[in-house]
Amino acid sequence: MDNSIVKINKSVNIVAFYFKSGLRRLKCFPKRMEYDGRVVTFTETGLAHPTTKGHKMVHVFDMTDGQADYRLEFDAETLDWKLVYIADQAYATEQVNAQFAPAA
């Protein structure tokens, strides 16, 4: 795995959402995330798509805060959010890099 990707695979709280009108219905996207005492406000949405994991429907969201990229998964059955990984931290500020550094 590339050094610019940090695997997290932990539950997070999505505390703010935004909505966008799709072709036939309103779509919901994460706007702000709380993880391990930190708050991340997303500025852009990348790829967002549904997929399956076994028999579960999971919605995948690639988000950015302008400093780093984040992959989130929303489990439609349990209504839980998971932060899968953080990427491109090499371009992030030192504060963001220190904030999400893996525990020693």
Burial category of 58 from C-beta neighbours within 10 Å (exposed 0-12, middle 13-18, buried 19 and up): middle
**Helix extents (H) in the chain:** 94-99
Q: Is residue 90 part of a domain?
A: yes
Angle at 31 between CA 28 and CA 32, to 5 degrees: 135
What pLDDT shows up at residue 1?
43
Number of domains forming the structure of the chain: 1
Say whether 90 sits in a helix, a strand or coil: helix
Q: Is the pLDDT of residue 100 over 60?
A: no
Better-scored residue on pLDDT, 78 or 25: 78
Q: Is residue 46 part of a domain?
A: yes
Better-scored residue on pLDDT, 19 or 47: 47
What pLDDT shows up at residue 60?
94
In the DSSP assignment, the letter for residue 97 is H
Q: Using one digit for the tens of pLDDT, what is the confidence trace for 33-91? A: 998 888 999 998 888 888 998 999 999 999 999 889 999 999 989 999 999 999 976 55
What pLDDT shows up at residue 99?
54
Q: Is residue 38 part of a domain?
A: yes
Which tokens belong to 33? 């995330």
Name the residue range of residue 45's domain.
Answer: 5-99
CB atoms within 10 A of CB 5: 15
Q: Is residue 104 part of a domain?
A: no
Which tokens belong to 65? 């805060």
Q: Is residue 28 part of a domain?
A: yes
